[in-house]
Amino acid sequence: MSAVLKKLMFSSLIGISIGSALFAPNAEAEEPAAKPKKVDIIAHRGASGYAPENTMAAFEKALQMKADYIELDVQMSKDGELVIIHDTTVNRTTDIDSELPVAVKNLTLAELRKLDAGSFFAPQFAGERIPTFEEVLDRYKGKIGMLIELKEPARYPGIEEKVSAALKERRMDKPKNGKIIVQSFDFNSVYKIHQLLPSMPTGVLTSKAADLTDAKLKEFSGYAKYVNTNLKNVTADPTLVPRIHALGMKITPWTVRSRDEVSPLLKAGVDGIVTDFPDYVPKKVR
């Protein structure tokens, strides 16, 4: 075979194979990788894995770590001031000198402010104080979202009115003025907030699977924008997130304290993740 003929045959073969690759009806087109859904990072009691929970140090750390929200627990002092603390007693998170439980509601603001709320976590946080609600609002308004939990509000008659007034005073009750959500395990309290601040997004908190039936979710959707439950309920029931979304609500489950808890929640399609460690949520989904 002449050299010219060989060259011609070779080029035709190449041509045929390129043509088949481009035009073959069964050629597998590569799917573009789906963009991962962005989720809100909610620093639980502030970045409480790195600084004492519910203190300015923990909220500051959350801001530095670029969390989308800080989560905070609101209660009331004996003299009616709103304060930020998780337990209904001060013993676990302060240096109160008492063997017996001391209730938040039995101390005045001045007494609460004297307590050290940092050294229980680590010595370098000694001197951290229990913040007031107003102090947190003033410091973080417009800087970071706030997921405000009313903790055991039935202990504090009038707490919903006080929280609403503090938000209204600062014009933080309108969704366009920042990411503010009020939530509680006490459904009556959530309903009350919805009545007081109709344009404020509210959230129902529950750890009970029995609260996550279609009928219950429908009821919540009448006054809440969020159903925030324990992350175990999300991984146990793959229908939960779609059922919440179908009713026009969102879900930010809690509380991520280990890196391997993140991925199942992302796969389930949650809207946010409540975590003590904001850096556990990968950058690509933020």
Query: How many residues of this chain bind Ca ion (CB under 5 A)?
Result: 2
Closest CB 89 distance from ligand G3P, rounded Å: 14
**Which of 44, 129, 194, 250 is labelled catalytic?**
44
The DSSP secondary structure of 87-114, one letter per residue, reads SSBSTTTS----SS--BGGGS-HHHHHH
Contact characters 138-167, Ca ion, x per CB under 5 A: -----------x------------------
Select 88 or 111, whichever has its Cβ closest to ligand G3P.
88
Neighbour count for residue 135 (Cβ, 10 Å): 16
Contacts of 116 (CB under 8 A, 6+ apart): 94, 95, 126, 127, 128, 129
Q: Segment 43-102, which members bind Ca ion (CB under 5 A)? A: 73
Helices 133-140/56-64 angle, 10° precision: 20
Residue nearest to ligand G3P (CB): 254
Select 97 or 151, whichever has its Cβ closest to ligand G3P.
151
Select 40 or 160, whichever has its Cβ closest to ligand G3P.
40
Residues that bind ligand G3P (CB under 6 A): 44, 71, 73, 86, 149, 205, 228, 254-255, 274
Residue 140 burial class via C-beta count within 10 angstroms: exposed 0-12, middle 13-18, buried 19 and up: buried
Closest CB 126 distance from ligand G3P, rounded Å: 24
Closest CB 25 distance from ligand G3P, rounded Å: 53
133, 83 in Cβ contact below 8 A? yes
Active site residue 44: yes
Closest CB 73 distance from ligand G3P, rounded Å: 6
Select 68 or 149, whichever has its Cβ closest to ligand G3P.
149
Quick one: which of 62, 73, 57 has its CA closest to 40? Answer: 62
Select 73 or 271, whichever has its Cβ closest to Ca ion.
73
Cα dihedral 57→58→61→66 (10° resolution): -140
Closest CB 262 distance from ligand G3P, rounded Å: 16
* Phi-psi map region of 269: left, alpha, beta (phi>0 left; psi -120 to 50 alpha): left
d(CA 42, CA 61): 12
Active site residue 245: no
272, 252 in Cβ contact below 8 A? yes
Catalytic residues, by residue number, are 44, 86
Residues lying near Ca ion in the complex (CB under 5 A): 73, 149
